[in-house]
Amino acid sequence: MKKIKTPKCPACGSAKVVVIVYGLPLPKAFEMEEKGLVKLGGCCIDDDSPRWHCNDCQHDWGKMKI
Protein backbone atom coordinates (compact mmCIF):
# COMPACT_ATOMS: atom_id res chain seq x y z
CA MET A 1 0.00 0.00 0.00
CA LYS A 2 1.43 3.35 -0.92
CA LYS A 3 1.82 6.02 1.64
CA ILE A 4 -0.70 8.80 1.44
CA LYS A 5 0.23 12.27 2.55
CA THR A 6 -2.34 13.45 5.04
CA PRO A 7 -3.29 17.02 5.89
CA LYS A 8 -3.68 18.32 9.43
CA CYS A 9 -7.08 18.36 11.03
CA PRO A 10 -8.78 21.70 10.33
CA ALA A 11 -10.83 21.37 13.52
CA CYS A 12 -8.15 20.65 16.15
CA GLY A 13 -4.84 20.88 14.27
CA SER A 14 -3.93 17.27 15.04
CA ALA A 15 -1.64 15.33 12.74
CA LYS A 16 -3.39 12.08 13.62
CA VAL A 17 -5.34 12.19 10.41
CA VAL A 18 -6.14 9.12 8.35
CA VAL A 19 -7.66 8.60 4.95
CA ILE A 20 -11.17 7.16 4.87
CA VAL A 21 -11.39 3.91 2.91
CA TYR A 22 -14.57 3.07 1.08
CA GLY A 23 -15.76 -0.12 -0.51
CA LEU A 24 -15.98 -3.65 0.78
CA PRO A 25 -13.30 -3.83 3.47
CA LEU A 26 -10.69 -6.56 3.26
CA PRO A 27 -9.54 -8.23 6.50
CA LYS A 28 -6.39 -6.16 6.17
CA ALA A 29 -8.45 -2.98 6.21
CA PHE A 30 -9.93 -3.89 9.60
CA GLU A 31 -6.42 -4.57 10.85
CA MET A 32 -5.29 -1.18 9.63
CA GLU A 33 -8.26 0.54 11.22
CA GLU A 34 -7.43 -1.07 14.55
CA LYS A 35 -3.92 0.30 14.26
CA GLY A 36 -5.33 3.73 13.49
CA LEU A 37 -3.92 3.80 9.97
CA VAL A 38 -7.18 4.16 8.09
CA LYS A 39 -10.84 4.80 8.80
CA LEU A 40 -13.44 2.55 7.21
CA GLY A 41 -16.17 4.60 5.61
CA GLY A 42 -18.49 1.84 4.49
CA CYS A 43 -19.27 0.48 1.07
CA CYS A 44 -21.22 3.43 -0.25
CA ILE A 45 -19.47 6.47 -1.56
CA ASP A 46 -20.79 9.61 -3.17
CA ASP A 47 -19.55 13.07 -4.02
CA ASP A 48 -20.20 14.32 -0.49
CA SER A 49 -18.34 11.51 1.27
CA PRO A 50 -15.50 12.88 3.38
CA ARG A 51 -11.94 11.90 2.52
CA TRP A 52 -10.15 12.49 5.84
CA HIS A 53 -10.79 11.48 9.42
CA CYS A 54 -9.19 12.86 12.59
CA ASN A 55 -8.39 10.23 15.22
CA ASP A 56 -8.20 12.90 17.91
CA CYS A 57 -11.52 14.71 17.56
CA GLN A 58 -13.34 12.35 15.15
CA HIS A 59 -13.83 15.15 12.65
CA ASP A 60 -14.48 14.07 9.04
CA TRP A 61 -13.91 16.42 6.15
CA GLY A 62 -12.76 16.83 2.57
CA LYS A 63 -14.13 15.48 -0.66
CA MET A 64 -13.34 12.27 -2.46
CA LYS A 65 -13.69 14.06 -5.76
CA ILE A 66 -10.50 15.78 -6.74
Can you list the positions of beta strands (E) in 1-66?
Answer: 17-22, 38-42, 52-54, 60-61
User: Is 59 a residue that touches Zn ion (CB under 5 A)?
Assistant: yes
Nearer residue to Zn ion within complex by CB, 9 or 18: 9
Least CB distance to Zn ion at residue 55 (A): 8
What are the residues facing 61 on neighbouring strands? 52
Q: Is 20 in the site for Zn ion (CB under 5 A)?
A: no
**55 binds Zn ion, rule: CB under 5 A:** no
- 12 contributes a contact to Zn ion by CB under 5 A: yes
